[in-house]
Amino acid sequence: MPEGDTVYQAARRLDQALTGRTVERTDFRVPAYATVDLAGQPVHSVASRGKHLLMRIGDQVVHSHLKMEGEWRVYRPGQRWTRPGFQARAVVAVPGAVAVGFDLGVLEVFPASEEADRMAYLGPDVLGPDWDAAEATARIASKADVPIAVALGEQRNLAGLGNVYVNEACFVRGIRPDRATATVDVPPLVDVARRMIVANRDRIARTTTGNDRRGERLWVYGRAGEPCRRCGTAIEHGRLGRNDVELRDSYWCPSCQT
């Protein structure tokens, strides 16, 4: 699933292409919103909120979540799309640009007056103007019996971190992802996780090791069975989640993380 930095970059591209222009055409290819027409309305802004993307048009908000396969691409008018048309879920056209949302996991349109309430369940946005380290730390720490990787990745505690950053931050802090949150010094973990994602929000290729070479950009994520970059011990793999439906892959070094 795309993480907060990916959604942040997508929102920035869309904002640059759409904001300040008047919508010429919209096409929402989901039954609930198939009749919605925002033509003639101004695009006020496009922004990310954690892993959510909010396109503010007129007095409405087009809300999308990329989930696993979704993405937004921007084309010139008349340009051939680079993904099949049947995968398109939303089209927003303005003079000089056409934004197409493909395979969006969530797509809805609602009144702008409802945005604050609809997004209120999210924790502080790690890349947003509302970032509050103390609040995020308190929310995570309140999940005392939950594995730290689950608490850190829960969007109600801290919005924007995904599984890559969760695993990488736990490694850097020397913490096994399955440790109970009550046993973890949470503030430094939150701090390093945020510094990682902030450092990557403008990068094309994400890196947490500081090495930008292909295959050397991550410490543990996706590296099960490979040697730890610090000590050489084989990286281990497991799955953690709040329940069986929400299990996520976890990776750790059994020597460097305790």
pLDDT in tens, 28-86: 999 999 999 999 999 999 999 999 999 999 999 999 999 989 999 999 999 999 999 99
Given a cut of 70, is residue 207 above it in pLDDT? yes
Residue boundaries of the structural domains of the chain: 4-119, 133-252
pLDDT in tens, 171-181: 999 999 999 99
Query: Catalytic residue numbers?
Result: 2-3, 51
What's the CATH fold of domain 133-252? Helicase, Ruva Protein; domain 3 (1.10.8)
Query: How many whole angstroms separate alpha carbon 119 and alpha carbon 52?
Result: 9
Domain spanning 4-119: CATH superfamily: MutM-like, N-terminal (3.20.190.10)
| pLDDT in the model for residue 1 | 63
User: Would the CA dihedral through 215, 218, 223, 225 be positive or negative?
Assistant: positive
pTM beyond 0.85: the answer is: yes
Q: How many CB atoms lie within 10 A of CB 185?
A: 10
Average pLDDT over residues 87-97: 98
